[in-house]
Amino acid sequence: MTETDQKQHVVIIGAGFAGVQVARGLGAAGVRTTLLDRQNYHLFQPLLYQVATAALSPADIAQPVRRMLRRFASIEVLLAEVTGIDVDRRCVTLADGKSLSYDILVLAAGATHAYFGHDEWAEFAPSLKSIADARRVRSRLLLSFEQAEMSDDAAERKRLMTFVVVGGGPSGVELAGAIAELARHTLAKDFHRIDAKSASVLLLEAGPRILTAFPEELARYAKRKLKTLGVTVRENCPVKHISRDSVVAGDDTMPIGVAIWVAGVKASSAGELLGVPTDKSGRVRVNRDLSVPGLSDVYALGDVALVLDTAGKPMPGLAQVAKQEGYYLGRALVRKMRTGAAAPDFKFHNRGNAAIVGRQSAIFDFGWSRLKGVLAWFLWALVHIYLLAGFQHRVLVALQWLWRYVTYDHGARLIVEPERGAACGGLPDGK
Amino acid sequence: MTETDQKQHVVIIGAGFAGVQVARGLGAAGVRTTLLDRQNYHLFQPLLYQVATAALSPADIAQPVRRMLRRFASIEVLLAEVTGIDVDRRCVTLADGKSLSYDILVLAAGATHAYFGHDEWAEFAPSLKSIADARRVRSRLLLSFEQAEMSDDAAERKRLMTFVVVGGGPSGVELAGAIAELARHTLAKDFHRIDAKSASVLLLEAGPRILTAFPEELARYAKRKLKTLGVTVRENCPVKHISRDSVVAGDDTMPIGVAIWVAGVKASSAGELLGVPTDKSGRVRVNRDLSVPGLSDVYALGDVALVLDTAGKPMPGLAQVAKQEGYYLGRALVRKMRTGAAAPDFKFHNRGNAAIVGRQSAIFDFGWSRLKGVLAWFLWALVHIYLLAGFQHRVLVALQWLWRYVTYDHGARLIVEPERGAACGGLPDGK
């Protein structure tokens, strides 16, 4: 460790895959670092759909940031929200009025879902980016079955058991498959009046096909598998309106019980706060070394950044991209501090892009090779046991998760939103 | 199964220990039964303090009521809230305006905490009766440490790291011990500025001693153990006022970070709805066969009922009492339907009353014998593995729970209240 390392203060905004990875690189070299996030936990977002469908509890896929980084004495973790960035004075303003000065600023604040100018749809079709979102979706799905069980009107029952997922990317495919399995397997025996298996799950995609990031062959396979699970896939079917109990898409008005929106992504407000140019989804354009053009010592990565690959194509918003960028930037910053030398440009190594289409069925695209079916699913499960076990330091939990997932024994079927006060049986609280 | 069984319709209000147990007895005999509750899950309340202190996730101690009873074809489970009971017309009014007629009514709606005329304290000192309560307490505890870490003012840090538990019953003892261990073990290494071990935990009891339901010898032991854990026990110390950042108790005004109220219990509004006499905590007075005097075919049990033992003393509000009453009433009702004969009076068999005072230390009172220390703790752990495994049908989960609990590896350290919108790193969402 050189003296220089100690003098430089790096502030990282966002404790997602990218931010945590940068912090690890800096922490290992003893660089004074502050990592701040609005949440006290790091979220394993790729499995959020399993919380939404009651297969996992929130704590299974979220870990306190402090805990993850506690071995690094030079890292401070702050629970805070950034409200302004002053690049001239090199400081960041926080929501509580305090400010934090930096020598180097790293933006890794991630992305949220975009409703394309229809923010009013958010109320009726929540998205799936946070634990609060996942809980909301879980409660709505389960509550819709409960209401169907209590209804005497056949049309109303049909409506309540119709679930629409908007957006045919990997999240949409995984979510639609998981909802179908929740209805067909987990809940099938629990209801006596309704037949949970008769629930309709619709996956709506505005474009000509689902899974555009995957080769057409794999997308076709996924579509066929979704059909087997009972999911109706509609392509070329842009959504025109969403209300509490219906979705208008293509030429149809569909009465629905629950809608979920996983159709569009926009970056967090980092670009606005920096006052730098962004692309149409709000991503900050960065150089190939992840630095922000025109600013000194400001970097952006992960979902908040627009990083172009060697062919000039934007990197996709994937966990592995964010992690690799974080790993790269952590090392590059340390190198620069120590030797003054700039690192060679960031280069992405594709570890394979996967999507799950129900149990025992997945697609994997490695670029140079493709895989589908049970073998792909098995590979996916192995990779996720490895990732979750490393994440939580608990192999047992990861194995138990797999067991619950394979056996359809969804334990987390709690309706907790809206909150219902104290647990006083079926009665209002006494006075 | 006789024809009579099919004709009688039993409505049970409340899916706690008592209600579920009655339903099982009726379901096994094929009696037409409707079990309704405001929640879709049955809650293992005795372990709620472990959710509040981040050792367990809500789904670890809650199970969907439908799932628990799905093997009984004659039982219907309804997610509903009761707003009125008409004993003359034998029907129950629900919050959605519908009504439900019954031949036999079973009230098992439980209890909630009482603030003794100071409901305004609830905002500053939440109670611990529901999952929402436990999440609220968990978030407040963790947030208080986070705020202390960010504060530059020594007095403010001390305030934020002072935790007050009001009420010296088993819940208060277990909660205070668990908070002390959270600070001293789980969080100790996570913070770099503050010393989490220096947190103060106060247990306030208005009466002359804690654990009045236990023999004095065991209470003395618990008090000594709490002191070792770092909990300050104050007896004869009634609370006079609670605000956001202070508690006035005895002659002291104490600046506090978080207060939790486990001091008093009142029954749900069953007595009011029935229009029958209750004791001062709202419990319905019942006969020794759990029937409500003056009403025909109406029964009350569990925390909503005042059941006297042979010595004329009220039964305590314990899970084992509620379960035994439920077991008794289910069989008694079936017997009465089949043979017309009344069952002999309910008789409670004490299985031992336990309280945990931190890891490796508990007290057990069997009436005829007493146990304290490691052996008592071990017995408690065995009993709870058995109960949780039966509850969730998953030995693995129960074992894993024990492992996490023993190793202080509290995984569920999520601050999720107040909700913080989408997971967009440290930044407000983009526009």
User: What pLDDT, in 10s, does the model give residues A208-264?
Assistant: 999 999 999 999 999 999 999 999 999 999 999 999 999 999 889 999 999 999 998
pLDDT digits (tens, 9 = 90+) for A175-205: 999 999 999 988 888 898 999 999 999 999 9
Q: Are B115 and B264 in contact (CB under 8 A)?
A: yes
Task: Give the domain CATH number at B67.
Answer: 3.50.50.60
Give the residue on B whose Cα is nearest the Cα of A44: B423
Number of domains into which chain A is organized: 2
What pLDDT, on the 0 to 100 scale, is given for residue A270? 85
Determine, yes or no, domain membership for B310. Answer: yes
Domain boundary among A238, A263, A288: A263
Q: Is the pLDDT of residue B16 over 80?
A: yes
Per-residue model confidence (pLDDT) at position B410: 61
* B394 in A contact zone (CB under 8 Å): yes
Domain contains A187: yes
Tell me: the pLDDT tens digits for B173-209? 999 999 999 999 888 888 989 999 999 999 999 999 9
Q: Does B325 touch chain A (CB under 8 A)?
A: no
DSSP A105-158: EEE---EEE--TT-GGGGGTS---SSHHHHHHHHHHHHHHHHHHHH---HHHHH
Please report which helix (H) or strand (E) contains residue A267, including its range. strand A265-267
Q: Are residues B49 and B170 in the same domain?
A: no
- For residue A300, the model assigns a pLDDT of 97
Contact (CB<8Å) A43/B423? yes
Inter-chain contacts counted by CB atoms under 8 A, chains A and B: 286
pLDDT at position A424: 47
ipTM score for this prediction: 0.83
Q: Check whether residue A109 and residue A149 sit in a common domain.
A: no
Q: Which residues of A touch B272 (CB under 8 A)?
A: 430-431
Q: Do B272 and A412 touch (CB under 8 A)?
A: no
Confidence of residue A431 (pLDDT cuts 50, 70, 90): very low
Measured between beta carbons, which residues in chain A are less than 8 angstroms from residue B422?
112-113, 127, 129-130, 133
A59 touches chain B (CB under 8 A): yes
Residue B276 in any domain: the answer is: yes
> Could you tell me which residues come within 8 angstroms of residue A160 by beta carbon, excluding any fewer than 6 positions away?
A144, A145, A147, A148, A151, A257
- Per the DSSP assignment, residues forming a β-bridge with A427 are none
Measured in residues, chain A has a length of: 431
Q: A294 and A258, same structural domain?
A: no
User: Rounded to two decimals, what is the model's pTM?
Assistant: 0.88
- Both A158 and A221 in one domain: the answer is yes
Mean pLDDT of B362-373: 90
Domain-located, residue A387 = no
Residues A241 and A270 in one domain: no
- Please report which confidence band the pLDDT of residue B423 belongs to, taking 50, 70 and 90 as the band edges: very low
B96 has a pLDDT exceeding 80? yes
Q: Is residue B383 part of a domain?
A: no
Judged by a CB distance cut-off of 8 A, whether residue A88 touches chain B is no
Which range is least confidently modeled, A115-119, A310-314, A325-329, B322-326? A310-314
Position with higher pLDDT, A349 vs A106: A106
Establish if A151 belongs to a structural domain: yes
Distance (Å, whole) CA B14 – CA B65: 10
Does the distance separating the beta carbons of B62 and A430 come in below 8 Å? no
143-172 in B: which are within 8 Å (CB) of A?
143, 146, 149-150
pLDDT, position A417:
53
- A285 and A320, same domain (yes or no): yes
Q: pLDDT class for B385, splitting at 50, 70, 90? A: confident
* Contacts with A266 from chain B: Cβ below 8 Å: 430
Partner-chain residue, chosen from A112, A113, A423, that has the shortest CB–CB distance to B110: A423
Residues of A (258-297) whose Cβ lies below 8 Å from B: 266-273, 282
| Backbone φ and ψ of B146, nearest 5° | -60, -45
Q: What pLDDT is stored for residue B41 in this prediction?
A: 92
**Residue B205 amino acid letter:** E
Return the pLDDT at B54.
86
A chain contacts of residue B413, beta-carbon cutoff 8 Å:
40-41, 59, 64, 67
pLDDT band at A56 (very low <50, low <70, confident <90, very high): confident
State which residues form the domain around B17: 3-113+265-339
**Which residue of chain A has the CA closest to B266?**
A430
Q: Do B212 and B321 lie in a common domain?
A: no
Q: Taking all residues of chain A, what is their mean pLDDT, rounded to a whole number? A: 89
**Residue A158 belongs to some domain of the structure:** yes
| Cα B73 from Cα B239, distance rounded (Å) | 50
- Model confidence at A423: pLDDT above 70: no
Which residue in chain A has the smallest CA separation from B119?
Answer: A431
Q: Which residue type, as a one-letter code, is found at position A70?
A: R
Q: Based on the fold, state whether residues B150 and B237 are members of the same structural domain.
A: yes
* A55 and A72 assigned to the same domain: yes
Q: Looking at the structure, do residues A127 and A255 belong to the same domain, yes or no? A: yes
* Closest by Cβ to B427, choosing from A75, A78, A82: A82
Handedness of CA A272, A275, A281, A283 (dihedral sign): negative
Beta bridge partners of A12: A35, A106
A223 token code pair: 């579509």
Domain end marker among B245, B263, B281: B263
Query: What is the chain A residue with the closest CA to B431?
Result: A269
Tens-digit pLDDT profile for residues A1-33: 444 445 799 999 999 999 999 999 999 999 999
Q: Which two tokens stand for residue A129?
A: 């980016």
pLDDT tens digits for range A307-320: 998 888 898 889 99
Q: Determine which of B68, B152, B424, B431 to mutate to test the interface with A (most A C-beta atoms within 10 Å).
A: B424
| High-pLDDT (> 70) share of chain A, % | 89
Q: Which residues of B touch A41 (CB under 8 A)?
A: 413-415
Number of alpha carbons in the 13 Å side-chain half-sphere of residue A303: 27
B400 to chain A: which residues are within 8 Å by CB? 396-397, 400
Who has greater pLDDT, A410 or A14?
Answer: A14
| Residue A30 within a domain | yes
pLDDT at A420 over 70: no
User: Of B306, B339, B372, which marks where a domain is finished?
Assistant: B339
Structure tokens that stand for B180 in this block: 């002390």
Residues A338 and A334: their CA atoms lie apart, in Å, by 6
Q: In the prediction, which pLDDT does A40 show? A: 92
| Contact across the interface for B430 and A19, Cβ inside 8 Å | no
Q: pLDDT confidence of A388, banded at 50, 70, 90?
A: confident
Of A67, A400, A415, the CB nearest to B40: A415
Give me the pLDDT at residue A171, please. Answer: 94
Q: At B6, is the pLDDT very low, low, confident or very high (cuts 50, 70, 90)?
A: low
Residues A270 and A228 in one domain: no
Same domain? B124 vs B239: yes
